[in-house]
Amino acid sequence: MLKEMLASRNLPALKPRDEMLGILQREVYGFLPPKPDDISFTQEKDIIRRFCAGKANCDRITVNCRVDGREFSFPILATIPNDRTKGKYPLFIHINFRPDNPDRYMPTEEIIDNGFALISLCYEDVTSDDGDFTNGLAGILFPDGKRPADGAGKIAMWAWAAQRALDYAETLGDTIDLDRVCVCGHSRLGKTALFTAATDPRFAFAYSNGAGCSGAAIQRGKTGETVADIVDRFPFWFCENYYKYANNEDKMPFDQHYLIASIAPRRVFVGSAEEDAWADPLSEFLSSVAASPAFEKGIVCPDRVPETGDRFPEGDVGWQIRPGVHYFSRLDWQRLIEFIKLHS
């Protein structure tokens, strides 16, 4: 049944990872900004000691980068369990909407209690979520205000910043298990999390929650948001080359299963919510199925249309759908944690 459903979507065949990534960068997100020429980290004074009932410290770190000879910095929050007898901690890098910790999309204490460390960053500390390309990282990359047609959009810039958060984690020595780092985010930041992992093989896991259009969901045959909708309201998330696919999805030499497949052979978990029709859970699921051949162990699921409450964590690419609306909920985190523990 799934085979026929996929056939009706007419998806382009998977290609080698480098080719898929090249297409996605050139045609959708723009090329990832260059690695910094230089990077350093400043520990700020406003550390919260004995956070989470004393189980963790929360440090505010300033990430200082030199990019193309220009200085750029942004803050991250590192919440690291105190108990040094437990070995190395797997790590979440959460690209968040807000600088809060905890946050309504980030149940910090519960994450710590599950044996994880957590680094979070607020996306607008990197560059604003709008068409202004003069501030933050955007202003550093395009100082003359001219962005080429394949120049980084805002998603690529937020992804680049999440990669710098991993650079910081690499300085933490034996505290962090660098073989178990997961980048995650919700909605526009779920799109960003997938692109972050696709372009940086240091991430062992990626999780996108409600990422939908131009994220986890295949566009061909998608319901809810279309390419035309998204480039009309949020053109700045993408490179200009993407705009020509508005109402023209059949001409795309790719579909979003390329994004998931570009993370192989590492692991990806995709989260959907029953009432998130704008993201289109079925197209997120079919995307995970279509990307599966790129992985050693593709999605493990029955050959039927999924039902609310289904979760398929066993393959290297997994998918789940919970009841409720577009939101990064505690249940999503619990299922993500379960996915990582299962594959550890």
Please name the residue that has the structure tokens 């001409």: 251
Site string for ligand GCU, 145-184 (x = CB under 6 A): ----------------------------------------
Q: Does 187 interact with ligand GCU (rule: CB under 6 A)?
A: yes
Q: Does 322 interact with ligand GCU (rule: CB under 6 A)?
A: no
Amino acid found at 117:
A
Q: Does 106 interact with ligand GCU (rule: CB under 6 A)?
A: no
Q: Does 273 interact with ligand GCU (rule: CB under 6 A)?
A: no
How far apart are the C-alpha atoms of 113 and 79, rounded to whole Å?
A: 12
Minimum separation from the CB atom of position 197 to ligand GCU (A): 17
As to burial, measured by CB atoms within 10 angstroms (0-12 exposed, 13-18 middle, 19+ buried), residue 332 is buried
Q: Does 280 interact with ligand GCU (rule: CB under 6 A)?
A: no
DSSP 269-304: EEEEETT-TTT-HHHHHHHHHHHGGGSSS-----SS
Q: Does 94 interact with ligand GCU (rule: CB under 6 A)?
A: no
State residue 15 phi and psi, 5-degree precision. Answer: -130, 175
Q: Which of 61, 88, 92, 93 is nearest to 77 (CA)?
A: 61
Minimum separation from the CB atom of position 312 to ligand GCU (A): 22
CB nearer ligand GCU, residue 131 or residue 293: 131
Minimum separation from the CB atom of position 211 to ligand GCU (A): 7
Q: Does 218 interact with ligand GCU (rule: CB under 6 A)?
A: no
Q: Does 221 interact with ligand GCU (rule: CB under 6 A)?
A: no
Q: Does 213 interact with ligand GCU (rule: CB under 6 A)?
A: yes
Q: Does 311 interact with ligand GCU (rule: CB under 6 A)?
A: no
Ramachandran region, residue 75 (left: φ > 0; alpha: ψ -120 to 50; beta: rest): beta
Q: Does 33 interact with ligand GCU (rule: CB under 6 A)?
A: no
How far apart are the C-alpha atoms of 327 and 338, rounded to whole Å?
A: 19
Q: Which of 343, 332, 298 is nearest to 317 (CA)?
A: 298
**Member of 154, 188, 322, 343 binding ligand GCU (CB under 6 A):** 188
Q: Does 320 interact with ligand GCU (rule: CB under 6 A)?
A: no
Amino acid found at 242:
Y
Q: Does 212 interact with ligand GCU (rule: CB under 6 A)?
A: yes
Provide the binding-site residues for ligand GCU, judged by CB under 6 A.
Answer: 187-188, 212-213, 225, 230, 278
